[in-house]
Amino acid sequence: MIQGTSSGVGKTVLTAALCRVLARAGFRVAPFKSQNMALNAAVTADGLEIGRAQAAQAEAAGIEPSVDMNPILLKPEGDDRSQVVVAGVPRGSFAFADYRELRAELMKVVEASLDRLRRAHDVVIIEGAGSPAEINLNDGEIVNMRIARLADAPVVLAGDIDRGGVFAAFVGTLALLDPEDRERVRALVINKFRGNRALLTSGLDLLTERTGRPVLGVVPYVEDVPVAAEDSLDLDGRHGPVVADIDVAVIRMPRIANFDDFEPLAREPRVRVRFVRDPAELAAADLIVLPGSKNTSGDLAWLRATGLAEAILGAARAGRLILGVCGGYQMLGETLRDPLGIESVVGEVRGLGLLPVVTTFAPAKTTVRVSARATAKAGVFAQAQGIELSAYEIHMGRTERCGGDHPFTVTERNGVRVDEADGAVNAAGNVLGTYLHGLFANDGLRRALLVELAALEGLAPDPRWGRPADGNRYDRLADVVAGALDLTLLARLLRIDPRRLSSS
Residue 326 catalytic? yes
Residue 239 catalytic? no
Candidates 328, 385, 384, 326; CA nearest to 354 is 328
- Catalytic one of 19, 121, 326, 395: 326
Residues 6+ apart with CB under 8 A from 39: 75, 76, 232, 255, 256, 257, 258, 259, 292, 294
- Catalytic one of 121, 395, 406, 437: 437
- 262 by Cβ neighbours in 10 Å (0-12 / 13-18 / 19+) ranks as buried
- DSSP, collapsed to helix, strand or coil, labels residue 84 as strand
What is d(CA 129, CA 5) in angstroms, rounded to the nearest whole number?
10
Distances (CA, A) of 79 to 96, 255, 423, 495: 9, 10, 31, 42
Distances (CA, A) of 428 to 247, 377, 380, 432: 22, 11, 11, 10
Q: 41-43 and 35-37: which strand pairing?
A: unpaired
Query: How many CA atoms lie within 13 Å of 222's alpha carbon, on the beta-carbon side?
Result: 26
- DSSP, collapsed to helix, strand or coil, labels residue 375 as coil
Continuous segment of H or E residues that includes residue 212: none
Measured distance between the N- and C-terminal CA atoms of the chain, rounded to whole angstroms:
21
Q: Which amino acid is at 448?
A: A
| Residues taking part in catalysis | 326, 437
